[in-house]
Amino acid sequence: MSAIRLLRTVSVAAMSGALLFSGPSFAQDGASGQEIPRYSAPGGAPMSFADLIEQVSPAVVSIEARGASDPRGVPDMDDIPPQFREFFERFGGVPGQGQRPERRSQGSGFFISEDGLLVTNNHVIEGSEEITVSLPGGDEFSAEVVGTDAETDIALLRVDGEGRDFAYVTLDREPGIRVGDWVVAVGNPFGLGGTATAGIVSAIGRPLGEIQLYTDFLQIDAPINRGNSGGPTFDLNGNVVGVNSAIFSPTGGNVGIGFAIPSDLAARVIDQLMDGGEVRRGYLGIAPQSLTAELAESLGLNRSQRGVLVAEVIAGTPAAEAGLQTGDVVIRIDGRRVEDQRGLFQRIGEMPPESEITLTILRDGDEEDVTVQLIERPAADTPDAPSGQADERLFGMILSPADEDTRERYGVTGDRGLVVNSVSSNSEAARQGIRTGDMIVEAGGGDVTSVADFNAAASAARERGRNALLVLVARQQGGVRYVALGFDNED
């Protein structure tokens, strides 16, 4: 009969009894009496997350959004490329043809007030007709949309609890989070309610290229999966430091690289949604270009000079009225350095319309200050997009050509692909499930490498008498699917 060895923990203290030893404690083997080293957790690492999870979990909810798919969302057999048409014909046609299937999505969210305000991702609820919020105890409530912001993937909902006080958590407006700090994610992956995972912050200020121009994400390795979208990431004090939004995965499952919208950014967006149901962003009116070493040298500047080159000044905009010129280099906004094009996007976008700002520019090698009064960003324009990189809003989308790095992340070969920079709520693209960050690879059966290609494919489909444009959509999380965008509902 094998021996059962019971371990007895022995406390180790300094002789004075006033200072506990910070090294290993010891346990005794119950059979041999031999002391076995037993290392305690390093400073800052909790032995258990149980108290924290017990405190915050009541505020975390499951969200189910339903919406009917438009019949035009089912492609005509003639629109299917020949290489796939035989497969569909052999097995009875395109799935869902002739039906109006229900579109359903699941995600997570969390209350931020006791009277029923809650936060989730825009992509969880966009295009929905009915939203159901399920509390940890099983109670269900209908929710209405207060406001959404596709550019940061934030949605604010309200639940009518008929006088009920909901448990809620607080967004940290000045997070002091650092790389290596512990974080805990709570949500409902794959519909498994009340799941908690822990990890560390892997990176701060992580950009995801053109997918989210206004967001530099927290990268975390706390496992998050499908259904965690919109759920909170907590620090060890129980404050929300991030809103889970995306994962990087070649398989579609967790590989330890997740992305959360920082809580300070989320809080600023939510403030605007509470105030007016929408986010208003400043608009300058230039086509910017990050200043490379080669461009700096060609302008007679030091190769190490950082800033944003003005490639074009758009007529009738604040930039034009303030006298900005092609070839100017913006180096500071209100005294704060601007390092690149992305930084300019975010700084201008953070500022309310009608704000008066001071741009410090380099013109012919000399510094000048220029005062500019911003206006609200036009709905049909990208924020100061480079010339040729954007076009009018198409089916509710703003598109721009994908670069090589972006295509590699999506697994798209060749030089094809248009990134969806934003999608208007209630647009045809939103109704068909296209969301910010998707990539359109084909339109009308052919590859697209520019917005002009997309326009040409749409025109050709109209000339053929089609009711919709068939597009092939790729997602960063993996997978491709065909979507038919109906012309009757085109924006």
Share of the chain residues as helix, strand and coil, in percent rounded to the nearest 5: 20, 35, 45
Closest CA to 311 of 278, 350, 284, 273: 284
Q: What is the pLDDT of residue 271?
A: 95
Q: What is the pLDDT of residue 227?
A: 85
Could you give the CA distance from residue 409 to residue 407 in angstroms, rounded to a whole number? Answer: 5
pTM, 2 dp: 0.65
First to last CA, the chain: 78
Q: What is the mean pLDDT of residues 62-89?
A: 59
Q: Cβ distance 341 to 372 under 8 Å?
A: no
For 395, the token pair is 């089916």
Residue 234 confidence class, pLDDT cut points 50, 70, 90: very high
Within 10 A of 298 (CB to CB), how many other CB atoms are there? Answer: 9
Residue scoring higher pLDDT (403 or 25)? 403
Sign of CA dihedral 42, 47, 49, 55: negative
Mean pLDDT of the chain: 79
Q: What is the pLDDT of residues 356-372, one digit of tens each?
A: 999 999 998 899 999 99
Q: Which residue has the tokens 């019971």?
A: 6
Q: Which domains does the chain have, with CATH numbers?
A: 7-38 (no CATH), 51-69+95-280 (2.40.10.120), 282-376 (2.30.42.10), 397-489 (2.30.42.10)
The residues annotated as belonging to the active site are 123, 153, 229
Q: What is the pLDDT of residues 240-259, one digit of tens each?
A: 999 999 877 666 666 788 99
Per-position b or e across 38-55, b if 16+ CB within 10 A of its CB: eeeeeeeeeeebeebbee
Residue scoring higher pLDDT (152 or 94)? 152
Cβ neighbors of 489 (< 8 A, separation 6 or more) are 70, 72, 395, 427, 428, 431
Residue 389 confidence class, pLDDT cut points 50, 70, 90: very low
Closest CA to 128 of 398, 426, 422: 426
> Where is average pLDDT lowest: 82-86, 292-296, 353-357, 450-454?
82-86
Residue scoring higher pLDDT (26 or 213)? 213
Length of the chain: 491
Q: What is the pLDDT of residue 478?
A: 64
Task: Give the residues across from 468 on adjacent strands.
Answer: 486
